[in-house]
Amino acid sequence: MQYDHWRIADGYSSPVRPVISGVTGAVSAAHPLAAAAAQDMLVRGGSAVDAAIAAQAVLCVVMPDACGIGGDLFALVDDGKDTMAVSGAGAAPRRGTGCADDGANSITVPGLPGAWASMHDRWGKLPFSVILSPAIRLAAEGIAVSEAMALTVRTHAPRLKANGAASWSLLGLSAGERFVQKELAALLRLFVQQGPLCFYEGDMAASIARAVAAQDGALDEADLAAHVTEVGPALAVALGETTLFVQPPPTQGVLLGMTLRNFNRMPQAGALQFDHIGVELTEAAFAYRDRAAQDGAALLDVELEINPERASRRGGPRAYLHTAGVAVADSNGLVVSSLVSVFDDFGSCLLVPELGITLNNRAGGFTHGANAWGPGRRPVHTLAPALLRSAQGRLALATPGADGQVQTLLQLIMRMMCEGEDLATAVAAPRWRSQGGKLLIEKGHPSEAGLAALGHDVEPMTPGATCFGAVVCAGVDDSGAPFAVADWRRNTWAGVV
């Protein structure tokens, strides 16, 4: 497998968003304001990690349905020698007696603040007073509610009201009105003054525990105080002359490595076979999802059995959609791939009014077997940022979409490494997604009819539908020059300095 096509040759006449090159750094993020914040940090002399944190903080302000301080963060950080994995996710309450998909007993200890502290301590250059300033300003001055956000709020208003968030000002706003988050701005200012680890102690922890207890949840101050962010080597997957790095347990990122290793050993004859085998391997790999946290790297040696001539319709991947990505590279060779999330829309929908945040519902990721719920346990996580390293350079890539993350990145990497497509073309290309036994596919996909003929239960979707993710990509080429590209889907944006 080769990986030689970093850039599109002619950005001026490209029908897709081109790969753009920078001098000081490059960013691709889930929102234009997040990309702008990262660019600001790079201009100020910050590292790729400083820029990533600034972008993530802005996402927490402008996309509270997808991510927030009460959620989680997973990141891969590559300095040219080592690729380290930051696992910013917490455990279920130690005094819990069960879990739910929603509400107070769906909450695990938020890992994002601890991950910020660990990342900044290891790779940061700028103070938090600078890094968090764009997010603080946006929270304090307010953001305009988009049509999409207004619709999401209306859709989830019953969940929010049922879980103690009826007083949240966002519920009373219409599209175009300004959403001011004074409590969130104050929370971020405390991070500036005391460091993000203050989230897990004192008044802040007490506020969280009080809000959870009011809804009959088990998460308490002791759970918050016991939280630890894990930082260690990423899982490396050899793919010919390219190495893929994925998140180690507790995420299901290993499923991407499983699928690509098996894809590499199978002959493909044409684009249709290419897509069919990709779908079949995806569904075969997801049969091992519940073992991802327990078995980790051992799953990379599993040989997946598929029928290369006929659809198995075994299903497996689920329908969750949210999360937000940030990828950053700087001129010193630091490359970051990251995802932030509260899991479902607004997470648990439980509001901590003093902090202006909702808490995650990551306990909804528990299933059965090795991934069964238990006090103090962490579920298998869907967040699966990835990073590629080859003689051509290093590339960070991530996408939202829960179980669709592995599938979207699989198609992107397969197109580049097996089909020889350049990065921009591969990002823009039509996609499929296996979900709940059906094969969702963007209308106009060249394999649509052929996949149906092979027995897949094909369901055509509007191109750009949220289920197909929205890839963020940034990296450095073999000369050390930073570059980035953003998907045309959702609200992703790229920038360079």
Is residue 48 in some structural domain?
yes
Overall average pLDDT of the 393-399 stretch: 97
Overall average pLDDT of the 466-486 stretch: 95
Is residue 209 in some structural domain?
yes
pLDDT at 2 over 80: no
Overall average pLDDT of the 47-75 stretch: 98
Give per-residue pLDDT as tens, 250-269.
999 999 999 999 988 887 67
Identify the band that residue 420 occupies on the pLDDT scale cut at 50, 70 and 90.
confident
Give per-residue pLDDT as tens, 108-157.
999 999 999 999 999 999 999 999 999 999 999 999 999 999 999 999 99
Q: By mean pLDDT, which of 83-97, 266-280, 473-487 is the weakest? A: 266-280
Is residue 275 in some structural domain?
no
pLDDT at 6 over 60: no
> Average model confidence (pLDDT) for the chain?
94
Q: In this predicted structure, what is the pLDDT of residue 254?
A: 95
Identify the band that residue 13 occupies on the pLDDT scale cut at 50, 70 and 90.
very low
Overall average pLDDT of the 424-450 stretch: 95
Q: What percent of the chain has pLDDT over 70?
A: 96
Q: In this predicted structure, what is the pLDDT of residue 15?
A: 61
Overall average pLDDT of the 242-251 stretch: 95
Give per-residue pLDDT as tens, 23-55.
999 999 999 999 999 999 999 999 999 999 999
Is residue 393 in some structural domain?
no
Other CB atoms within 10 A of residue 125 CB = 18
Q: In this predicted structure, what is the pLDDT of residue 320?
A: 67
pLDDT at 319 over 50: yes
Overall average pLDDT of the 404-412 stretch: 94
Q: In this predicted structure, what is the pLDDT of residue 318?
A: 77
Give per-residue pLDDT as tens, 160-219.
999 999 999 999 999 999 999 999 999 999 999 999 999 999 999 999 999 999 999 999
Read off the amino acid at residue 174: S
Q: In this predicted structure, what is the pLDDT of residue 14?
A: 53
pLDDT at 12 over 50: no
More confident call, 181 vs 7? 181
Q: In this predicted structure, what is the pLDDT of residue 70?
A: 98
Which residue range is the domain that position 102 belongs to?
Answer: 34-67+92-227+341-371
Is residue 17 in some structural domain?
no
Overall average pLDDT of the 235-264 stretch: 94
Is residue 103 in some structural domain?
yes
pLDDT at 271 over 90: no
Domains: count for the chain = 1
Q: By mean pLDDT, which of 83-92, 138-147, 265-274 is the weakest? A: 265-274
Is residue 136 in some structural domain?
yes
Is residue 459 in some structural domain?
no
